Amino acid sequence: YKVTGEAMGMFGALTGDTNPLHVDANFAKEHGFIERITRSKIMGMMLGEKLSVRKIYGETLAELGKTRNDIVAVDADLSCSTMTCLFQEAFPDRFFNAGIAEQDAICTAAGLATCGKTAFVSTFAMFATGRAYDQIRNTVAYSNLNVKIVATHAGVTVGEDGASHQMLEDIGLMRAIPN
């Protein structure tokens, strides 16, 4: 993995910047993200350690939760796979498990966003983009709500879970939505 590319993408998602290639250095320094990436992640890369992007996501979300009370996490019964369990452990009152109901997870995140929360909803790519496409398009995007959809296990990376959990068209679906 290229840490800088992942970090830049995360900054875009976490700060609400519509261009994920823009990095707000002041925000990053304020929340210690640059230091964390520099010390632990890059050193691991130098030593040949493989990094888990979803673990970095879970750790970063939990870390941001310490300084931003507006951040909430919604998961579709996969928190140990998406690593939002790290946020849940730290902030159980700001974590919502929608169960195996991805459409509901998206709409719950949308509702929380209408109340001023920055909602992160996480599940596998197949379910986040395929099963909940209507809710993303008509509820989140149409209203331009502050919902961050973090889809893990994209493509054919889910292995033994099989074809029903694999998604190749997720990027195509989301790129067609204007915002």
pLDDT tens, position by position, 34-56: 444 444 555 555 555 566 778 88
Best-predicted range by mean pLDDT (11-25, 29-43, 55-69): 55-69
What confidence tier does 145 reach under pLDDT thresholds 50, 70, 90?
very high
More confident site: 8 or 170: 170
DSSP string spanning the chain? --HHHHHHHHHHHHHT-SSTT---HHHHHHTTHHHHIIIIIIHHHHTT----HHHHHHHHHHHHHHH-TTEEEEESS-HHHHSTHHHHHH-GGGEEE--S-HHHHHHHHHHHHHTT-EEEEEEEHIIIIIITHHHIIIIIITTT--EEEEEES-BTTTGGG-GGG-BSSHHHHHHTS--
Q: Contact, 109 vs 121, CB < 8 A?
A: yes
Count of beta carbons in the 10 Å neighbourhood of residue 85? 18
High-pLDDT (> 70) share of the chain, %: 65
Of 89, 102, 160, 169, the catalytic one is: 102
Reply yes or no on whether the pLDDT at 107 is more than 90. Answer: yes
More confident site: 169 or 122: 122
- Looking at the whole model, is its pTM more than 0.95? no
First-last CA distance in the chain: 27
Please indicate whether residue 102 is annotated as part of the active site.
yes
